[in-house]
Structure 1
């Protein structure tokens, strides 16, 4: 990836994550990235192409950054709670702006299957990983547990991003995981 393209995608993600989807214009991305006027449009001719590029970029960055956390080995329920808590803390801490951008793009892409594809694929991967772990931890009804677990994950991330950035994570994750396993 060229440095200009990468700078444009980083700036676009930051704009969406801090100012919302309406802030995503080629000229604003150029200005925010400190690029010459027209640089972003050389890589992304249309706004749809820019949205698609940002969506793919976010999915790639999250997969890379969370991969190290989510592939940690653990032997028991407490280890799983630790791993999942660490992922939530990353998404709502150091990567909060990018996570806000992802949520904004989820809403924008809801009616555009092509735009939604990278985020959907990433989410499906997370769901498959989570389901297999819930099964290995003894979930009595893994599909029901997975839906509740994913909803909980979205809820705590959204809560920390919008209402209480310092909300405790591990205690809430422990309650949710134990509840999902028991249901």
Structure 2
């Protein structure tokens, strides 16, 4: 059974992901979570504390989802994993994905988004290690490019076209990361 705090944070993520950071108020979170008025403020006294709680909650949720899949040893395996991940992040987890992007863009305090940046660094290091195993050290250096391409595709799906095809674009980005730019 979810605690009041968990219910409030889940509702807060959905609010930010569907209505933007400005929708994040204690009263709106209480209403969205079906909690009595004042429940959210019992856990997060200020809006800044609520915002920090939401950022931490997103990072905690991502870590709790089980970490990384089984080792990926081929270019096609990496394509398949990235496509699946983006389908999930732009489908069932689209509100959380939108919330993460909104918080990155809206957070005025760089320290506030530290948990999200930490998550990002972990994923980048993992991506580097996969690329190195598949294509060597030069491929590992192209991890930021691959991640930026995937971010662009994901952003397109959650803002413009939720059904935009992914496989061909991801395959192209992975090939560029593994083999380098086309001659």
TM-score over 0.5 for the pair: yes
- Preserved CA contact (<8 Å) 2:129 2:140: no
CA–CA distance in 1 between the matches of 2:65 and 2:149? 21
Query: CA separation of 1:107/1:162 partners in 2, compared to 1, >3 Å: closer, same or farther?
Result: same
TM-score (norm 1): 0.92
* Closer, same or farther: CA 66–97 of 1 in aligned 2, 3 Å: farther
Residues 1:125 and 2:122 are matched in the alignment: yes
Q: Does 1:55 align with 2:55?
A: yes
Work out the number of aligned pairs and report it: 180
8 Å CA contact retained: 1:140, 1:181: no
Deviation readout 1:20-44 (Å, 9 max, x if unpaired) = 0000000000011110100000000
> Partners of 1:63 and 1:48 in 2: how far apart?
23
Please say if 1:36 is aligned against 2:33: no
Q: Which runs of 5+ in 2 are unaligned?
A: none
1:26 maps to 26
Q: CA deviation at 1:77?
A: 1.4
Partner of 2:131: 134
Distance 1:142 1:44 in 2: 44
Does the 8 Å CA contact 2:72/2:78 hold for their aligned counterparts? yes
C-alpha displacement of 1:144: 4.0
| TM-score (ref. length: structure 2) | 0.92
Q: What are structure 1's unaligned runs of at least 5 residues?
A: none
Distance (whole Å) between structure 2 residues aligned to residue 81 and residue 118 of structure 1: 27
CA-based RMSD: 1.6
- Partner of 2:71, secondary structure, is coil
How far apart, in 2, do the equivalents of 1:6 and 1:56 lie?
Answer: 12
1:73 matched to 2:68? The reply is: no
> For 1:54 and 1:166, how far apart are their aligned partners in 2?
28
